[in-house]
C-alpha cells in the first residue's frame, strides 16, 4: 500500500511533469514522471505518461516498456495500449502494434477514432504482407530507372514553371535551380518530366561515389555541415540565406534525414538533388536512417511523393537513396556520419569503405549502426532506446578516433535544444538543423562551419514561418497520433 503522503507527492510531481511535457521539455518530463513512479509505483497513469514522453523523443524501447508496465498495473487503461501500439508501429512492428489497436477498439467499441486507427493499421499489415510475398517471388521487373522513358512525357503548352535547358534539354543550370526554388517557395511544382530527369541525373552522380568520401578543405576556405532537415523546406532556405547559397566556394554537407515528418520533403530533396547535379562539389549528401523505404512509408515521404507526383517516382527515390554515401572524413581529421559508432571495437575506415551500401538498411551490422546509433554519457555500450543500433560511450568514441588517426566525430540523428551538443570530452558533436522540429519541439537549429584548421564554429538559428501544412500531413493515418 502507498500512503496518502506519498500519493500526494506523486500527484504533485505528475503535475510538474505535465507542465514540462506541455512545454516540450520531454527529457525533464521523463525524470519527473520517474520520480512520481518512485513515490507511487501503483499508478498506471505515470507509466503511460512517461511512455508518451519517450515517444516524443523517439525512445521507442522504453516507450514500449513503460506502456507495458501501465497495462500490467491497469489492464483496462486504454491510453497505454495506444502508446505501446504507436511505439511498436514506429519500429515497423505492425503485427504486434495491431494487437494493441484491436484491444483499444475492444475497450472503446463506440470510439470512431479508435476504429479508424484499427482499420488503418490492419490495412498496413495486409500491405506489408503482400509486399513481402511479392518480394519473395522469383524474377521481378528490375530497377524502375531502367524502364523510364522520360522523352515520352509530354510537357503541356500550359506549363509555366521552370524548364531544363541546354542543347540536350536536360542541363541543370544555376538559373534553373533558383527558378525551381522560387517555384517551390510559392507552393507550386515543377513538371514531372523535369523532376524525373533530375532524379535520373543525380542517380548517375551518386552511383560513382564511394561509401566513405574523403573531402579536402583547402587552406583559406571553409565547409559547412548541416544535420537533419526533415522536410522543413523554409528552414532549409533560411540556412542558405544566412550562410550563403551552395557553390564550390561555399560547399555544404547535409548529414542525412532530408525527408519525412516535415511535409515539404519533396521540395527539400529536389532542391538538394538539383544543386548536386548542377555543381557536385557545392553539396555533399549522406544517407540517414530516414532515407529508406520502410521509414518513408511510415513517416510521410512516400505519401507526399505519390500526392505531388506518382508512385513510380516514389520507387525511383527508394532506388536512389540506396546509392547515397554513408559517411565522410574531412581533412583526414573529422569523421561525419548520420547516426554513430559501432557495437564492436576495431572498425577501421577501410572497413567502412568496403561496405556494400547499395541496399535497404539491414537490422544490424556496421551499416545499420552508422545510420541508427546514438551516444551515451557513460562508458561502454548499451542497447539502443530506439530498438536498433547501439548506444556508445566516450571510451568507444576515443578508441575509434585514436585507431583511425582522427580527432572528432560529427553526427546528427537527435534533436537538441540548442541545435547542437558537444559530448564525449569534446570528441563528439551532434548537429541538428530542423528548428522547432515537427512544429512542436521549440528547439533551435544549428550548422557547423569548419575552416582548414578543422575547429568547429557553431551557428544557431530559430524556425521561420511556413505555409499552413502540418507535419506528417502525408503520413499513414494512424501515425498522426504520434504528433
**Positions marked active-site:** 290
Cβ atoms within 10 Å of 483's Cβ, excluding its own: 14
Residue partners of 72: CB distance under 8 A and separation at least 6? none
**What ranges in 137-185 are assigned the alpha helix state H?**
174-185
Residue in the structure block whose three cell numbers are 506528417: 472
Which H or E run includes 270?
helix 265-278
3-state secondary structure of 115: helix
First to last CA, the chain: 36
Q: How far is CA 293 from CA 108, 199, 296, 307, 361, in A?
A: 33, 16, 5, 17, 9
Instruction: Give the phi and the psi of residue 330 in degrees, each rounded to 5.
Output: -100, 125
Q: Which three cell numbers stand for residue 194?
A: 523535369
Report the distance separating Cα 11 and Cα 37, nearest Å: 10
Report the distance separating Cα 176 and Cα 165, nearest Å: 8
Report the distance separating Cα 430 and Cα 370, nearest Å: 14
Report the distance separating Cα 229 and Cα 44, nearest Å: 36
Strands 283-285 and 327-330, bridge-based pairing: unpaired
Report the distance separating Cα 294 and Cα 448, nearest Å: 30
Enumerate helices (H) and strands (E) in the chain, giving the number of each.
17, 14
3-state secondary structure of 55: helix
**How far does Cα 241 stand from its chain's mean position?**
23
Report the distance separating Cα 394 and Cα 21, nearest Å: 29
Report the distance separating Cα 136 and Cα 115, nearest Å: 32
390, burial (CB in 10 Å: exposed 0-12, middle 13-18, buried 19+): buried
Residue in the structure block whose three cell numbers are 520507387: 315
3-state secondary structure of 314: helix
Instruction: Give the phi and the psi of residue 61 in degrees, each rounded to 5.
Output: -65, -55
Report the distance separating Cα 166 and Cα 179, nearest Å: 15
260, burial (CB in 10 Å: exposed 0-12, middle 13-18, buried 19+): buried
**How far does Cα 149 stand from its chain's mean position?**
31
Amino acid at each position: 500500500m502507498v500512503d496518502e503522503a506519498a500519493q500526494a507527492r506523486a500527484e504533485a510531481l505528475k503535475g510538474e511533469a505535465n507542465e514540462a511535457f506541455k512545454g516540450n521539455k520531454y527529457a525533464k518530463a521523463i525524470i519527473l514522471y520517474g520520480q512520481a513512479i518512485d513515490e507511487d509505483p501503483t499508478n498506471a497513469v505515470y507509466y503511460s505518461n512517461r511512455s508518451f514522453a519517450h515517444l516524443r523523443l523517439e525512445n521507442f524501447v522504453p516507450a514500449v516498456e513503460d506502456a507495458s508496465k501501465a497495462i500490467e498495473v491497469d489492464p483496462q487503461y486504454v491510453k497505454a495500449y495506444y502508446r505501446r501500439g504507436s511505439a511498436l508501429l514506429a519500429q515497423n512492428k505492425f503485427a504486434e502494434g495491431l494487437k494493441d489497436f484491436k484491444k483499444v477498439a475492444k475497450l472503446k467499441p463506440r470510439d470512431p477514432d479508435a476504429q479508424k486507427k484499427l482499420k488503418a493499421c490492419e490495412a498496413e499489415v495486409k500491405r506489408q504482407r503482400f509486399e513481402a510475398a511479392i518480394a519473395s517471388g522469383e524474377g521481378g521487373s528490375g530497377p524502375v530507372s531502367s524502364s523510364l522513358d522520360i522523352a515520352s512525357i509530354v510537357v503541356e503548352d500550359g506549363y509555366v514553371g521552370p524548364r531544363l535547358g541546354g542543347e540536350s534539354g536536360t542541363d541543370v543550370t544555376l538559373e534553373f535551380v533558383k527558378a525551381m526554388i522560387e517555384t517551390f517557395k510559392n507552393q507550386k511544382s515543377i513538371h514531372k518530366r523535369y523532376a524525373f530527369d533530375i532524379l535520373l541525373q543525380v542517380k548517375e552522380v551518386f552511383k560513382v561515389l564511394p561509401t566513405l568520401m574523403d573531402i579536402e578543405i583547402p587552406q583559406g576556405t571553409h565547409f559547412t555541415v548541416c544535420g537533419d532537415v526533415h522536410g522543413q523546406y523554409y528552414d532549409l532556405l533560411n540556412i542558405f540565406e544566412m550562410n550563403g547559397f551552395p557553390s564550390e566556394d561555399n560547399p555544404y554537407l547535409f548529414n542525412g534525414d532530408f525527408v519525412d515528418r516535415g511535409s515539404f520533403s519533396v521540395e527539400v530533396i529536389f532542391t538538394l538533388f538539383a544543386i548536386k547535379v548542377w555543381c557536385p562539389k557545392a553539396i555533399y549528401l549522406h544517407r540517414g536512417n530516414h532515407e529508406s523505404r520502410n521509414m518513408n512509408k511510415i513517416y510521410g515521404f512516400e505519401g507526399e511523393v505519390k500526392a505531388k507526383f506518382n508512385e513510380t517516382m516514389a520507387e525511383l527515390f527508394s532506388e536512389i537513396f540506396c546509392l547515397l554515401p554513408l559517411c565522410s572524413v574531412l581533412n583526414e581529421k573529422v569523421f561525419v556520419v548520420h547516426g554513430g559508432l559501432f557495437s564492436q571495437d576495431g572498425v577501421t575506415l577501410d572497413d567502412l569503405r568496403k561496405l556494400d551500401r547499395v541496399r535497404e538498411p539491414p537490422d544490424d551490422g556496421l551499416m545499420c549502426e552508422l545510420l541508427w546509433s546514438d551516444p551515451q554519457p557513460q562508458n561502454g555500450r548499451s542497447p539502443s532506446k530506439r530498438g536498433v543500433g547501439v548506444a556508445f560511450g566516450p571510451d568507444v568514441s576515443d578508441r575509434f578516433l585514436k585507431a583511425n588517426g582522427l580527432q572528432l566525430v560529427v553526427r546528427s540523428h537527435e534533436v537538441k535544444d540548442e541545435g547542437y551538443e558537444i559530448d564525449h570530452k569534446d570528441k563528439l558533436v551532434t548537429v541538428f538543423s530542423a528548428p522547432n522540429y515537427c512544429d512542436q519541439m521549440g528547439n533551435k537549429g544549428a550548422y557547423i562551419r569548419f575552416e582548414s584548421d578543422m575547429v568547429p564554429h557553431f551557428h544557431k538559428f530559430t524556425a521561420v514561418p511556413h505555409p499552413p501544412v502540418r507535419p506528417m500531413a502525408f503520413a499513414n493515418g494512424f501515425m498522426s497520433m504520434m504528433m
